[in-house]
Amino acid sequence: MPYQFSQVTTTALPVEQRCLQDLRLAPVRRRPTQFRLLQQNMLAYTFDSFVPGFAASTVINETPFAEVVQRPIDNADAEGALLFGADYNVGDNAKRKVAGDIFEVVTHAVLWNMAARWNAYMSGAPWNTRPRFPRPTVRPDPARQIAVLNLPRGYDWVRLLVPEAQQSINDIRDNLEARHGLALPTSTPDIAVVVLPETEREDPSWRGELPNLTIPQQTVLRNAYLRLAGRIEPGELIFALAVKRSLRSDRLYQPLYEANVMQLLLEGFLGAPRVEFEVQTLSLEGTAAMEIYRAASLYAVAIEQQSLAPGVEVAPAAVSAIHRAVRDLYIPESARHLAQRLLDFLGNRMTAI
Amino acid sequence: MPYQFSQVTTTALPVEQRCLQDLRLAPVRRRPTQFRLLQQNMLAYTFDSFVPGFAASTVINETPFAEVVQRPIDNADAEGALLFGADYNVGDNAKRKVAGDIFEVVTHAVLWNMAARWNAYMSGAPWNTRPRFPRPTVRPDPARQIAVLNLPRGYDWVRLLVPEAQQSINDIRDNLEARHGLALPTSTPDIAVVVLPETEREDPSWRGELPNLTIPQQTVLRNAYLRLAGRIEPGELIFALAVKRSLRSDRLYQPLYEANVMQLLLEGFLGAPRVEFEVQTLSLEGTAAMEIYRAASLYAVAIEQQSLAPGVEVAPAAVSAIHRAVRDLYIPESARHLAQRLLDFLGNRMTAI
C-alpha cells in the first residue's frame, strides 16, 4: 500500500524490511554514518503496489518524475523521525547518491513495463489497455520484441555483443595495443535497449509487466542483462541511455565521450546503423548542456571531411549517416511521459527490423 | 616576505590587501557567505617574494606541490583566526573552488618562468642558473621562443589561431550546421603553450622571469593570451594542459573529449602535427584515470581503420600518427619538478621548429 509514508505499515514492518539501518552500535570503520539508507527496501516500501506510469491512478502516473524519485527518500526520512526522533540524521551526500540510483532503477522499471507490453502485443496478444497507451501501428511480429537492460557500473557494454562482434572489437583493441601501446576503453551507458535474440522470443518472462518494485521484481530487473550477454548483434543494440540525476558542467562529458566511442565501434567498425544515445536527467543546473549536446559524432565528422579531401573515396552511405553523438537530452515530466516516449521510439525504430 | 603566515605583516596590511573580505555588514543576496576569500590577495600575500620553483631556497622549490597550493588557503584561515577569532568561517566549497584556481595560477606562473628562461637563452642571452636547471642542448634560435598562456574559462581556443585557420574551422562548423543542423563546440584547455609569433620575438617581456605573484605580475599572467589571440598557426599550438585539482571519475572525461576535438580539428582538418594534450592533477581519488587515459585519439583510430578497409586510400603519414588523446596524467611532485618537465618537453619538441 505505501507510496506515501504510512505510520501503520512502518510500525508493523520487520526490522529487516525497514528503509533505515541503525548503525550506532555497529559503526563503519572510519565513517561517521549513524543511519544507512537501504535503497532496495526503500524502493520495495514505496512501490509495493505499482510501478510508476503503470499504476491504476492517473494522478500517480502523471506526478512530476522528480517527486516520484524523491518519494523513497522522504519515506526513509519519515521512518527515521518516527523511530529515532531527533537522533535521526543522514548526510546530504548519502541522500544524493541513493536518489541517483533510485532515479536509475525507477527509470528502468518504467521502460521495462512498456517493453513487456510491447512484446506481448508483438507476440500476438491483445494490446493491454490498463493503463491506456495508444496501440502501436507497427504490425505485430515476434521478431520485433525487445529487452531493456540496466547495465551495472563498470560493465563493458561490448560484452553484450555476440562473440564474433566482441572478437572484432578485441582485434581492434589488440592492434592498438600491439602497434601503438594504446587502449580503447569503453565504459557503459546505464540502460541499453536491444532487440530480443531469436532464441528468447518464446520466453514469456520478457512479456511480463512488473506489478511492483518489491525485492523479487528488483532482482528480475537487475539481472536481466546477464540473460542476454554475448547474444546481441551489433545492429540490435538500438538505444543507449545515460541516466544522471543532475548534470553539472563537468559531468556532461562522460556520456558524450561514451556515445562517440560506441558510434566509432558499432557504426564505424561493425557497420551497424545509427547508435541512438540519449541522456536523461532531472536537473540541468544552468549548464550549457543543450548546446554541448548538439555536438556531431566525431567519427562521422572525420569520415565526412575525409570524403571532401582529394583522392580519397568514402562510401556515400557513411557520409549521409552523419549525426549528433547524443541524440537528445531528455527531462521526463512524469513516468507516464517516459513510458510513452519509449513507445514512440519503438513505433518508429522497429519498422526497420 | 610571507609564504608562511606572518602576524606582523597581516597586522600592518591595509584592509584592501587582506586575504579575506568581511561581508557580515555587506551580505550577498540569498547567500549565507560571511567572509569571502580574495584569491588575488591571497596569492599576492603568500607569494610576495618568489614564484615557486624559482625561489632562492631549494627547500621551498622542492616542497610537495599540494602543500604549496594549500598555503594561501592556510594563510587566509590564519588571518581569519587572528582578526575575527571564533566568528571566522568559510565554507568547504568556497575553499575547494579557490584552491582549484590557485592550482591553475601557480602552475601557470611556474611554466611562465621556465618559458621566460628558455626564451632568454634562445635569444642569445646566457643560461640563467639561479636556481639551477640543466642548460638545454638545443641550439639557441629566436624562432624557438614560446609563450605559456592561461586561457580564461569559457574561452574558445580556436580564437588563438590565425584568421585563415579560424576560417577553415568555421567552414567546417557552418557546413555541419547547414547540412546536418549539428555543432562542433570546443571548450578550452586551461593552459596552452604556443610558439611565439615572429613579430613578438624581439619583445623582452616574453623573456622576463616574474619575481613574485603580486597583483601586477598576476595581471601579466592573466592577460598574456590576449596579446597572441588570432596569431598562432595550427602547428604552433604545441601543448595543451588541463589543470584539475582533483579527478573524480566523472570529471575525467571533459579533458578526454576536448583532446579528441582538438586533435580532430588541428591534426585531421588543418594538417598540424600531433597535439600534445596533458592532464595535471594533485589527487586521483581512486579513479581509473590512468587506464582511461590510455585511450587512443578517436580521430586517429577512425583513420587507421579506414586505411585497412578495401578500396580506401589513406596517406601513410596519417596512419603512422596514431596516438593517445591524452598524452599523460601528471601529478607534479613539486614546483621544481613541474618546471623541469616543461624544460624536458621543450628540449625534445623544439628541435622540430
Kindly give, in sequence order, each residue whose CB lies less than 8 Å from that of residue A314, ignoring residues fewer than 6 positions away. A303, A304, A306, A307, B306, B312
Question: Of A305, A312, A322, which has the smallest distance from its Cβ to B180's Cβ?
Answer: A322
CB contact under 8 Å between A302 and B301, yes or no, is no
Phi first, then psi: what are they for B318, rounded to 5°?
-65, -40
CB atoms within 10 A of CB B32: 9
Q: What was the ipTM of the complex prediction?
A: 0.83
Q: What angle do CA B98, B101, B107 make, to 5 degrees?
A: 135
Between the alpha carbon of residue A260 and those of residues A20, A166, B177, B302, the distances in Å are 40, 18, 19, 11
Q: How far is A292 from chain B (nearest CA, A)?
A: 6
DSSP secondary structure string for all residues of A191-260: EEEEEPPGGGTT-GGGG---S--SHHHHHHHHHHHHHHTT-B-GGGEEEEEEE-SB--GGGSHHHHHHHH
Q: What is the pLDDT of residue B20?
A: 97
By percentage, how much of chain A surpasses pLDDT 90? 74
The pLDDT, as a whole number, for residue A114 is 98
Mean pLDDT of A312-337: 79
For residue A109, give the amino acid letter.
Answer: A
pLDDT at A317 over 70: no
pLDDT at B251: 82
User: Does B172 touch chain A if contact means CB atoms closer than 8 Å?
Assistant: yes
Kind and range of the H or E element at B20? strand B20-22
Is A294 in the B-facing interface, judged by CB distances under 8 Å?
A: yes
Q: Which of B181, B253, B264 sits opposite A301 (nearest CB)?
A: B264
**pLDDT at A291 exceeding the cut of 60:** yes
pLDDT given at position A335: 98
Task: Report the sign of the C-alpha dihedral through residues A288, A289, A290, A296, in that order.
Answer: positive
If you ran DSSP here, which 8-state letter would residue A324 be given? B
- Total Cβ atoms within 10 A of residue A163: 10
CA distance A58 to A67: 15
Asked if residue A186 lies in contact with residue A261, where contact means CB atoms within 8 angstroms, the answer is: yes
Q: What is the mean pLDDT of each run of 10 residues along chain B (353 residues)?
A: 95 97 90 94 98 96 97 98 96 94 98 98 96 96 97 94 95 87 87 97 97 98 97 96 87 91 90 92 80 87 69 54 89 97 95 77
Q: What is the dihedral of CA B10, B16, B18, B23, to 10 degrees?
A: 130
pLDDT given for residue A308 in this prediction: 62
Residues of A in contact with B182 (CB under 8 A): 294-296, 322-324
Which position has the higher pLDDT, A1 or B312? Answer: A1
Enumerate residues 6+ apart whose C-beta is below 8 A from A30: none
Q: Which of A176, A298, A311 sits opposite B260 (nearest CB)?
A: A298
Distance from CA of B169 to the nearest CA of A (A): 11
Interface list for B 303-332 with A (CB within 8 A): 303, 305-306, 311-314, 322-324
Amino acid at the residue A241: L
Q: Give the burial string for A141-158 (b: 16+ CB within 10 Å, else e).
A: eeebbbbbbbbeeebebb
What's the whole-number mean pLDDT along residues A14-41?
93
B276-280 β-sheet, strand order? B146-150, B191-195, B237-243, B276-280, B328-330
Closest CA to B321 of B346, B303, B344: B303
pTM of the model: 0.88
Quote the CA–CA distance of B155 and A251 in Å, as a whole number: 19
The backbone torsions φ and ψ at residue A197, rounded to the nearest 5 degrees and listed phi first, read -60, 155
On whether any CB of chain A is under 8 Å from the CB of B42, the answer is no
Please give the residue of chain B at the shortest CA–CA distance from A187.
B292
- How far apart, in whole angstroms, are the C-alpha atoms of residue A225 and residue B276? 39
* Residue A320 pLDDT grade (very low, low, confident, very high; cuts 50, 70, 90): low
Cα–Cα–Cα angle for A242, A245, A251, rounded to 5 degrees: 65
**Beta-carbon separation of A295 and B172 below 8 A:** no
The whole-number pLDDT of residue A28 equals 87
Lowest mean pLDDT, pick from A96-110, A247-261, B298-312: B298-312
What average pLDDT does the segment A207-218 reach?
Answer: 98
Q: pLDDT at position B311, please?
A: 58
What are φ and ψ of residue A73, in 5° steps?
-65, -45
CA triple A160-A162-A165, angle to 5 deg: 100
Q: Which residue is listed with cell 594533485? A: B282
Per-residue pLDDT band for A314 (boundaries 50, 70, 90) equals: low
Q: No. of H helices and E strands in chain A? A: 12, 7
A28 class by beta-carbon count within 10 Å (0-12 exposed, 13-18 middle, 19+ buried): exposed
Interface of A with B in 257-286 (CB under 8 A): 257-258, 260-261, 264, 268-269
| Whole-number pLDDT of residue B308 | 62
